[in-house]
Chains A and B, each alone.
Chain A
């Protein structure tokens, strides 16, 4: 992209900080894991039946969760993209909410609403994964669907295509890239799911991710954990590479048509169908959160607010709450800064900065647990024994949040026509003044959204925290997990109070972001 900033030398240095941080705290630990795992005599581990079962279970539950999430999301995406109805924006926010709920909250919610005989089952895990991801899939597919010009459908109909043939021959091919991308992200999230599996799966339903934690932190088998981490990185990298190669040539329309394909609901059959789909979807999104809130005020089958009072007077929990908030603020600043610098280097720099986009996507491919493990095995001796450093946890959280932060800011920045900057220049503004008064003003909502999402990621992050949190610096998800694992209904109720707090925070964030975006 050619911009007025291309000539500025500072543009070449924008990516320096993000590259340095990613190389030091993602690339180096991963290389360390890959090299160490092949140096150690731990290849035999892959031959053990337990590990083969874990790998097989991880794969099939991820595939099933992805397929079911797509099946649930497609009808909702159809409604969102093709019809205009009251409460559409509210519904969109509501169904997106599960995606930014902390995984530990989702696990706790399903622990509460599912009967005991379904706990520790594959069904429970798959259901929780579908809940977690269906809103994200809906949003991704419906965003693409509304871009398909409605007259393309009309052209197909005048050429003799029935509604079903139109869907198969036109809509599906044009949605293919969005569907494959959504499936890829959901598969990766389910394959590397950690919080949900720790809470809902227990020891009997272990995935590669929980097995890494179990081996490293409980069995002390760090080499086995590294071998599994290496296997996970390789599998996901191969899938990403193969998928990108496959969909690379797909034709995409990228602009929203002038004529909207969203039409008002007139026919009764449409009204009934949409009402049923939207009502059931809303119920699916709300019930688990509602169940947590209800459980937080019920102890031993009696209504009581004792747990709410206890959590705010228990010094350990208050300390955990304060630490979580401090980490969230530091994460928010770090992730937003790194995301903004990365987005600027891609938008303003020449083609050679394209790789920054791939580099910032690494924390999607490499799970939070692997980042956590990588950090503790890489920075374990002087002069870089940083395992217990206070900044390590928010830094790990910032790396997990970075792909999201960067991808929220980047499209908005790239959509700014350079002619606006040229006009500002011609009116006498310097490059820096232009950036502050044009670019920054236009992207400020995206930057705010990136900051909010980064804070939400930090508050709910569980994978990396499991490795990096030290006694006295535990975050809320760690505290929830500890309370849930202890016997006694009152402790569990306290866990649900904290889960409710996390859920309320996430809900507030998604509604604020969606509201701000709709005003923009």
Chain B
């Protein structure tokens, strides 16, 4: 499904990692751990096409996407601090990718309703995103990424900064949601307990470097 072969990244003239290889199967949830600054987020950004790798290849369903622009990759990402669009409502944020693809308005509304129900926030659909709680904003960010039906979903420490109660609840809900939808996921976290709760496989980034 997703295959990274001998990828290297040079950041501001120093090598962040070299010869990194990773394979993720379809519908698999893989958690990636490692110390701060080892390049976990950069790896996700390279897979999404937001940064370039200096050497190596990235294959998605056996197709080379190494030099493909981000918007054509069909790889979704949930950012650490959500990055909800402040000028749009909750519903408009979730519908963003469908609007970009010019999906029929009725189908868009239906999909937005479905996914907001799935994350348990259907009642917030018309709210502005600037006054959502941390947990609500996180769920909306996941819903926005899922509605685009990405081939792979990248989660960049999505539960960092939440209080322990909320963290536990969201982790459980997120795991259920991703498994129900059969989404292929690469989940980056520094929390080993979180990694083992949500993932089929837990990998340390340093082990991926040959």
A149-B83, A253-B86 given; A158·B130 CB < 8 A? no
In the complex, chain A residues whose CB is within 8 Å of the CB of B73? 158
A160-B71, A160-B148, A251-B128 given; A155·B83 CB < 8 A? yes
Q: Kindly specify which of A87-95, A129-137, A161-169 makes contact with the partner chain.
A: A161-169
In the complex, chain A residues whose CB is within 8 Å of the CB of B144? 159
Q: Scoring B residues 145 to 184 as 1 if CB is less than 8 Å from chain A, else 0, what string do you get?
A: 1001010001000000000000000000000000000000
A154-B83, A169-B96 given; A160·B101 CB < 8 A? yes
User: How far in angstroms is the closest Cβ of chain A from B56?
Assistant: 19
The answer to whether B123 has its CB under 8 Å from any CB of chain A is no
The answer to whether A116 has its CB under 8 Å from any CB of chain B is no
Q: How many A-B residue pairs have CB under 8 A?
A: 71
The residue of chain B having its C-beta at the shortest distance from the C-beta of A264 within the complex is: B12
Check A160 against B48 for contact (C-beta < 8 Å).
Answer: no
User: How far in angstroms is the closest Cβ of chain B from A200?
Assistant: 40
Expressed in whole angstroms, the Cα–Cα distance for A253 and B84 within the complex equals: 12
The answer to whether A250 has its CB under 8 Å from any CB of chain B is yes
Expressed in whole angstroms, the Cα–Cα distance for A466 and B144 within the complex equals: 61
In the complex, chain A residues whose CB is within 8 Å of the CB of B70? 154, 157-158
Q: CB within 8 A of A154: which of B50, B69, B87, B128?
A: B50
Check B100 against A155 for contact (C-beta < 8 Å).
Answer: no
The answer to whether A356 has its CB under 8 Å from any CB of chain B is no
The answer to whether A297 has its CB under 8 Å from any CB of chain B is no
Check B50 against A157 for contact (C-beta < 8 Å).
Answer: yes
Check A169 against B48 for contact (C-beta < 8 Å).
Answer: no
The answer to whether A173 has its CB under 8 Å from any CB of chain B is yes
Question: Residues of B within 8 Å of A, CB-based: how many?
Answer: 30
The answer to whether B91 has its CB under 8 Å from any CB of chain A is no
A157-B70, A159-B76, A162-B71 given; A174·B96 CB < 8 A? no
Interface hub of A157, A160, A253 (most chain B Cβ within 10 A): A160
The residue of chain A having its C-beta at the shortest distance from the C-beta of B129 within the complex is: A251
The answer to whether B188 has its CB under 8 Å from any CB of chain A is no
The answer to whether B77 has its CB under 8 Å from any CB of chain A is yes
Residues of A154-194 at the interface with B, using a CB-CB cut-off of 8 Å, are 154-162, 165, 169-170, 173-174
Residues of B114-161 at the interface with A, using a CB-CB cut-off of 8 Å, are 128, 130, 144-145, 148, 150, 154
In the complex, chain A residues whose CB is within 8 Å of the CB of B75? 158
Check A251 against B86 for contact (C-beta < 8 Å).
Answer: yes
In the complex, chain B residues whose CB is within 8 Å of the CB of A158? 48, 50, 70-71, 73, 75-77, 145, 150, 154
User: How far in angstroms is the closest Cβ of chain B from A219?
Assistant: 51
User: How far in angstroms is the closest Cβ of chain A from B177?
Assistant: 18
Interface hub of B70, B73, B74, B154 (most chain A Cβ within 10 A): B70
User: How far in angstroms is the closest Cβ of chain B from A80?
Assistant: 22
The answer to whether B191 has its CB under 8 Å from any CB of chain A is no
Check A159 against B100 for contact (C-beta < 8 Å).
Answer: yes
Check A156 against B96 for contact (C-beta < 8 Å).
Answer: yes
In the complex, chain A residues whose CB is within 8 Å of the CB of B130? 251
Check B101 against A154 for contact (C-beta < 8 Å).
Answer: no
Check B86 against A159 for contact (C-beta < 8 Å).
Answer: no
In the complex, chain B residues whose CB is within 8 Å of the CB of A312? none
The answer to whether A152 has its CB under 8 Å from any CB of chain B is yes
In the complex, chain A residues whose CB is within 8 Å of the CB of B86? 174, 251-253
Check B100 against A165 for contact (C-beta < 8 Å).
Answer: yes
Expressed in whole angstroms, the Cα–Cα distance for A152 and B88 within the complex equals: 12
Expressed in whole angstroms, the Cα–Cα distance for A206 and B55 within the complex equals: 65
Expressed in whole angstroms, the Cα–Cα distance for A161 and B81 within the complex equals: 20
The residue of chain B having its C-beta at the shortest distance from the C-beta of A151 within the complex is: B83
In the complex, chain B residues whose CB is within 8 Å of the CB of A161? 71, 96, 100
Expressed in whole angstroms, the Cα–Cα distance for A253 and B154 within the complex equals: 26
In the complex, chain B residues whose CB is within 8 Å of the CB of A165? 71, 100
The residue of chain A having its C-beta at the shortest distance from the C-beta of B75 within the complex is: A158
The residue of chain B having its C-beta at the shortest distance from the C-beta of A252 within the complex is: B86
Check A251 against B87 for contact (C-beta < 8 Å).
Answer: yes
The residue of chain B having its C-beta at the shortest distance from the C-beta of A155 within the complex is: B83
Check B87 against A173 for contact (C-beta < 8 Å).
Answer: yes
User: How far in angstroms is the closest Cβ of chain B from A153?
Assistant: 9
Expressed in whole angstroms, the Cα–Cα distance for A252 and B130 within the complex equals: 10
Expressed in whole angstroms, the Cα–Cα distance for A46 and B19 within the complex equals: 78
Expressed in whole angstroms, the Cα–Cα distance for A250 and B86 within the complex equals: 10
Check B87 against A155 for contact (C-beta < 8 Å).
Answer: no
Expressed in whole angstroms, the Cα–Cα distance for A184 and B50 within the complex equals: 36
In the complex, chain B residues whose CB is within 8 Å of the CB of A250? 87
Q: CB within 8 A of B100: which of A154, A160, A252?
A: A160
The residue of chain B having its C-beta at the shortest distance from the C-beta of A159 within the complex is: B97
In the complex, chain B residues whose CB is within 8 Å of the CB of A159? 71, 76, 96-97, 100, 144-145, 148
Expressed in whole angstroms, the Cα–Cα distance for A174 and B84 within the complex equals: 13
User: How far in angstroms is the closest Cβ of chain A from B148?
Assistant: 5
User: How far in angstroms is the closest Cβ of chain A from B88?
Assistant: 8
Check B83 against A169 for contact (C-beta < 8 Å).
Answer: no
In the complex, chain A residues whose CB is within 8 Å of the CB of B49? 157
In the complex, chain B residues whose CB is within 8 Å of the CB of A160? 71, 74, 97, 100-101, 148
Check A174 against B87 for contact (C-beta < 8 Å).
Answer: yes
Check A157 against B71 for contact (C-beta < 8 Å).
Answer: yes
Expressed in whole angstroms, the Cα–Cα distance for A427 and B120 within the complex equals: 51
A157-B70, A158-B75, A160-B148 given; A152·B85 CB < 8 A? yes
User: How far in angstroms is the closest Cβ of chain A from B50?
Assistant: 5
The residue of chain B having its C-beta at the shortest distance from the C-beta of A158 within the complex is: B77
Q: Scoring B residues 41 to 78 as 1 if CB is less than 8 Å from chain A, else 0, what string do you get?
A: 00001001110000000000000000001110111110
For the A-B complex with A160-B101, A252-B86 known, give 7 more contacts whose Cβ atoms are closer than 8 Å. Answer: A154-B70, A155-B77, A155-B79, A157-B49, A158-B77, A158-B154, A251-B128
Which residues of B are at the interface with A, using a C-beta cutoff of 8 A? Answer: 45, 48-50, 69-71, 73-77, 79, 81, 83, 85-87, 96-97, 99-101, 128, 130, 144-145, 148, 150, 154
The 5 closest A-B pairs by CB, nearest first: A157-B70, A159-B97, A155-B83, A158-B77, A173-B87
**A to B CB contacts below 8 Å, 25 in the list:** A151-B81, A154-B45, A154-B48, A154-B50, A155-B77, A155-B79, A155-B85, A157-B49, A157-B69, A157-B71, A158-B50, A158-B73, A158-B76, A158-B150, A159-B71, A159-B76, A159-B144, A159-B148, A160-B100, A161-B96, A162-B69, A162-B71, A169-B100, A251-B86, A251-B130
